């Protein structure tokens, strides 16, 4: 391992007390450090990081052996979008709150550097959604999602109607506040709050879950991830929001969205003793007695 990339959340200065120590450790191991330009400026100004310790990432033309994402799950999703199909493994260091993707604490990060340098870790591969627009000349600004695609209403006073086809066959027309199509990674995010099932990250499935459905018969469903899903939306406003991992775009109702499993996957770095079930028990406090 020779080069470490660092991306981060520029709004949590009080939650980065180990940053200097971590950079010092990385330099002591002789590693080349590259930090996202905006985050680097933040670190120099707010924390006093020595700018001679690193160089900056100021374009999308970058390479590295591992990427550190400092923040919460939102920061991790942004980092994954920047990495794209480059295949660079991502380590999520949690300076946020819940953190299913960024589940390494600051304290763990300080002690995990030696393991990173000596490659004593495991890599989990995560499936993404890939989307394309159909029936119109619109272009999707964010065609990939690690967590989910959310189809959302623009008119807050009325519901939307989303017809889902699976491999060309109509599955259902969902009359609701919105509809979620999630990967296994996204099953512990927005979809979980909508009542969808939690799936283990290596399960080859997608989850479709309505948001506040207007009928109790509209339930979440789990599908194989080798299927193609087509979504057609009707709305009073004649438009709707398509949010890919929270990055929204307004689309005309004449535009359908076709989804499939992406051609690449995101590599997530985990300590060898971290398991998905332990993360669930820790983050969701399963088994805790709160009486």
Neighbours of 76 (CB within 10 A): 31
The pLDDT value given to residue 279: 85
Helical ranges in 43-123 per DSSP H: 73-83, 106-117
DSSP state of 36: E
Helix, strand, or coil (residue 102): coil
Helical ranges in 143-243 per DSSP H: 190-193
Helical ranges in 54-200 per DSSP H: 73-83, 106-117, 190-193
What digits encode the pLDDT tens for the residues 51-82? 888 999 998 999 999 999 988 889 999 999 99
| Structure tokens given for 176 | 């609701």
The answer to whether 148 touches 182, Cβ cutoff 8 Å, is yes
Of residues 73, 103, 177, 245, which has the active-site annotation? 73
The pLDDT value given to residue 16: 60
Residues with pLDDT less than 70, the chain: 11-17, 96-98, 136, 290-291
Distance CA 34, CA 19 (A): 14
The answer to whether 191 touches 145, Cβ cutoff 8 Å, is no
The answer to whether 240 touches 150, Cβ cutoff 8 Å, is no
Helix, strand, or coil (residue 228): coil
Distance CA 71, CA 67 (A): 13
Distance CA 6, CA 20 (A): 13
245 is catalytic: no
Neighbours of 236 (CB within 10 A): 14
What digits encode the pLDDT tens for the residues 203-220? 999 999 999 999 888 999
The pLDDT value given to residue 146: 97
Q: Which residues contact 2 (CB under 8 A, 6 or more apart)?
A: 31, 32, 65
Cα dist. 181→72, 109, 156, 275 in Å?
Answer: 22, 32, 21, 25
Helical ranges in 71-230 per DSSP H: 73-83, 106-117, 190-193
Distance CA 206, CA 221 (A): 8
Burial category of 202 from C-beta neighbours within 10 Å (exposed 0-12, middle 13-18, buried 19 and up): exposed
Cα dist. 21→25, 26, 50 in Å?
Answer: 6, 9, 12
The pLDDT value given to residue 11: 66
The pLDDT value given to residue 233: 97
Give φ, ψ of 280 to 5 degrees: -60, -45
| Structure tokens given for 181 | 């199509």
Q: Could you give the count of Cα atoms lying within 13 Å of 276 in the half-sphere of its Cβ? A: 15
């Amino acid at each position: 391992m020779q080069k470490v990339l660092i991306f981060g959340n520029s709004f949590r200065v009080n939650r980065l007390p180990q940053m200097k120590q971590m950079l010092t450790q990385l330099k002591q191991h002789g590693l080349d450090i590259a930090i996202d330009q905006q985050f680097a400026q933040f670190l120099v100004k707010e924390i006093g990081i020595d700018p001679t310790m690193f160089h900056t990432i100021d374009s999308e033309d970058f390479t590295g052996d591992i990427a550190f994402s400092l923040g919460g799950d939102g920061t991790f999703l942004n980092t994954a979008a920047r990495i794209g199909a480059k295949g660079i493994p991502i380590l999520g260091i949690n300076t946020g709150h819940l953190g299913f993707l960024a589940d390494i604490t600051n304290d763990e990060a300080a002690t995990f550097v030696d393991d990173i340098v000596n490659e004593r870790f495991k890599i989990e591969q995560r499936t993404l959604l890939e989307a394309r627009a159909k029936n119109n000349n619109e272009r999707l600004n964010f065609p990939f999602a690690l967590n989910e695609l959310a189809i959302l209403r623009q008119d807050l006073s009325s519901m939307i109607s989303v017809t889902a086809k699976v491999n060309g066959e109509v599955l259902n027309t969902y009359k609701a506040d919105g509809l979620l199509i999630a990967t296994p990674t996204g099953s512990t995010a927005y979809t979980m709050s909508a009542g969808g099932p939690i799936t283990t990250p290596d399960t080859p499935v997608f989850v479709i879950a309505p948001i506040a459905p207007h009928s109790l018969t509209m339930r979440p469903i789990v599908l194989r991830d080798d299927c193609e899903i087509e979504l057609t939306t009707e709305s009073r406003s004649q438009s709707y929001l398509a949010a890919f991992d929270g990055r929204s775009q307004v689309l005309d109702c004449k535009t359908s969205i076709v989804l499939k499993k992406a051609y690449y996957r995101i590599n997530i770095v985990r300590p060898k003793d971290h398991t998905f079930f332990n993360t669930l028990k820790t983050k969701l406090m399963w088994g805790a007695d709160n009486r």
